[in-house]
Amino acid sequence: MVVTRFDVTDADFADRAAAALDVLATRPGFVRGRVGRAADEPTAWLLSTEWDSVGSYRRSLSSYEVKVVATTLLSQGRDEPSAFEVLHAVDLAQPPVSSPSQRARD
């Protein structure tokens, strides 16, 4: 799961974020994504994507199309961790799933 938060002042951000999400969706390992804005703070935005693995997301960043369309937007995100491994998930259509961490111990 990748969560990138933005402090937005430009009027065309929603269109640029939608274009970035569209191009990310073409990459192998992409599962789903969303663009949202905070209900109580109109300048706080979020781009959230889900991937088969953190590696799938990182490999997607090497695509030419992603570099042109999405990376410029992602570079404007807040400087904070954005890629997370999912350790527990609940989906109403399926039973809850817990997974061990795939991170190396060192």
CATH number of the domain located at residue range(s) 2-98 in this protein = 3.30.70.100
Distance CA 43, CA 58 (A): 27
Sequence ranges of the domains in the chain: 2-98
- The pTM of this model reads 0.85
Is the separation of the CB atoms in 57 and 32 below 8 Å? no
83 burial via Cβ count (<10 Å: 0-12, 13-18, 19+) = middle
pLDDT of residue 53: 85
Taking residues 16-44, what's their average pLDDT?
97
| Average of per-residue pLDDT values in the chain | 92
Tell me the per-residue pLDDT of 42-93, one tens digit each, with 9 for 90 and over.
Answer: 999 999 999 998 889 999 999 999 999 999 999 999 999 998 888 998 988 8
